[in-house]
Amino acid sequence: MSVALVGAGPGDPGLLTLRGAELLADAEAVVYDRLAAPALLDLAPPGAERIFVGKAPGDVAMTQDAINQTLVRLGAAGKRVVRLKGGDPFVFGRGGEEAQALERAGIEFEVVPGITSAISAPAYAGIPVTHRGLSTHVTVVTGHEDPAKERSDVDWEALAAAGGTLVILMGVARLEEIAARLLAAGRSGDTPLAAVARGTRPDQQTRRSTLGEVAEGGLPALSSPAVIVVGEVAALDLSWFEKRPLHGRTVVVTRAREQSSGLRRRLETLGARVVELPTIQIEDLPFELPELTGYAWIVFTSANGVSAFFERGLTASGLDARALAGSKVAAIGPGTADALAQRGVIVDVTPERFVAESLLEALPADGRGERVLIPRAEQARDVLPDGLAARGFGVDVLPVYRTTRAEPDAADLDAVRNGEVDCVTFTSSSTVWNFRDAIGDLGDVTPDVVSIGPVTSATAEQAGLPVTVEAAEHTIDGLVAAVCDLLGTKR
Ligand code: SAH
């Protein structure tokens, strides 16, 4: 019923406010521009209208007037509108003008402040904008104006005289002139200066210099967006973000989107840029839940199998974990065991290594005619059922889901083909084969391949994707450790 001007933060999606997330989750229309992180758009319901209003420098998809009119039109139509704005809406974001337009049109609006790049980009570069003993005030100023203009709105002389910390937004193009002007007004040539480009994003870059050097053209070309910090604090280097082990690295995740979030989050926390290239998707398979009392063992070989069995088997039949009371439960690895624990079941057996062969070893050597149920994917290896049958178990395989091919995004496939990624991770044989099909001929490009375990590795070799590193522990954590080993040694 109203329009919310929501600060999207500087780029790291984790820096959105809770109120912002709440409004996005309930939005009917989201109006966004280039500064908004794609991950934030995913927080809006799939059915919400997504309206891009551009605004890359030099490529103005929509004028400010047209944006204002769009907001007024959507607001007047009674929609719940979120206008996502980079950083904070009222810090050089022209959010004030949007609010004025809404007010004039009599449309209710709300402002959700965001984390501004003026403070957060320096923070992610390890620069506190104020610091005891070094700086008692901070001024945020636009560098967009021509500093040589006769009557400038920015009084660079007064700013130079005031000292303290100066944070310049939109200043990359005119940095040299600005530095010269500050020097001419009396700021010392030794004054430290830092430029933080693409702050809080996985490809953040910080360059340090001095005002004097920069006035002489001393700072190499910066990618945008960037903030410039001038003042004693710019010499502080409490760097942490750019020091993370995978900072600046790009890792491809080929798991199904439904399962990729854990791996993705772990890699991102270590600093990697993650390209999600889901090559498979999980599809529900209809199945009839058998009478469970006759099974001595229920053996789960994936977290997917657990969720399908519980949600579409037990829950759908009006049952819960107590239906498993008479059976022992085995899980192939910690991910599967976790999925069971979340549903109130503590497993009796997990193998030493997280592959079917090892799980087989962990189960009783003599089946004595006992019955085993294996809820799992439609297509899977038969090591486990065959092995158990050979030991005298009565084995029932219950297919509860299937994996089918997903169509990955063309731009993401191109990133791999162009050698723009540092490694590709595989968590199962099906991800390997479908990746191979989707990517086609890689020519001379040979991305490093990291595999979760021996079975996946063998498939990768067979598919012409030689494995660079195999996870020592065949789990998602093991895979992440292998990626760190690989990209760590290459540094
Ligand atoms: N409202 C925004 C600022 C918009 S003006 C905010 O509060 O952050 C656009 C300018 O913001 C860019 O020219 C650049 O100076 C700065 N900026 C935005 N995002 C940035 C980022 N991730 N890293 C560094 N600077 C950024």
Catalytic positions, please?
33, 55, 170
Distance 252 CA to ligand 1 centre (A): 28
Domain shared by 16 and 71, yes or no: yes
**Which mean pLDDT values do the consecutive 10-residue runs of the chain (491 residues) have?**
92 96 97 84 94 69 89 96 96 95 97 98 98 96 77 87 96 93 95 96 94 89 91 96 94 90 93 92 93 96 95 95 96 94 96 89 93 94 94 96 89 92 94 91 88 96 95 95 85 47
**Ligand 1 atom index nearest CA of 228:** 15
Q: Do 201 and 346 reside in the same domain of the chain?
A: no
Quote the pLDDT of residue 248. 92
Ligand 1 atom with the smallest distance to the CA of 118 is 8
Looking at residue 491, what is its pLDDT?
47
Residue bearing the CA closest to ligand 1, atom 5: 92
- Is 97 in the same domain as 153? no
Predicted pLDDT at 1: 59
3-state SS track over the chain = CCEEEEECECCCHHHCCHHHHHHHHCCCEEEECCCCCHHHHCCCCCCCEEEECCCECCECCCCHHHHHHHHHHHHHCCCCEEEEECECCCCCCCHHHHHHHHHHCCCCEEEECCCCHHHHHHHHCCCCCCECCCECCEEEEECCCCCCCCCCCCCHHHHHHHCCEEEEECCCCCHHHHHHHHHHCCCCCCCEEEEEECCCCCCCEEEEEEHHHHHCCCCCCCCCCEEEEECHHHHCCCCCCCCCCCCCCEEEECCCHHHCHHHHHHHHHCCCEEEECCCEEEEECCCCCCCCCCCCEEEECCHHHHHHHHHHHHHHHCCCHHHHCCCEEEECCHHHHHHHHCCCCCCCECCCCCCHHHHHHHCCCCCCCCEEEEEEECCCCCHHHHHHHHCCCEEEEEEEEEEEECCCCHHHHHHHHCCCCCEEEECCHHHHHHHHHHHCCCCCCCCEEEECCHHHHHHHHHCCCCCCEECCCCCHHHHHHHHHHHHHHCC
Pocket of ligand 1, beta carbon within 6 A: 10-11, 35, 86-88, 91-93, 116-118, 121, 169-170, 196, 198-201, 225-227
Q: Look at ligand 1, atom 24, and give the residue with the nearest C-alpha.
A: 226
Residue 435 is part of which domain span? 250-279+406-490
CATH number at residue 432: 3.40.50.10090
Pair (341, 428) in one structural domain: no
pLDDT computed for residue 440 by the predictor? 87
pLDDT at residue 488, rounded to an integer: 75
- C-alpha 28 – ligand 1 centre gap (Å): 27
Report pLDDT for 55.
57
Same domain, 300 and 371: yes
Q: In a mutational test of the pocket of ligand 1, which residue from 17, 116, 227, 228 has the highest number of ligand atoms less than 8 Å from its CB?
A: 227
**Number of domains within the chain:** 4
pLDDT of residue 280: 86
Are residues 130 and 233 part of one domain? yes
Q: 351 and 214 in one domain? A: no
How much is the pLDDT for 151?
Answer: 65
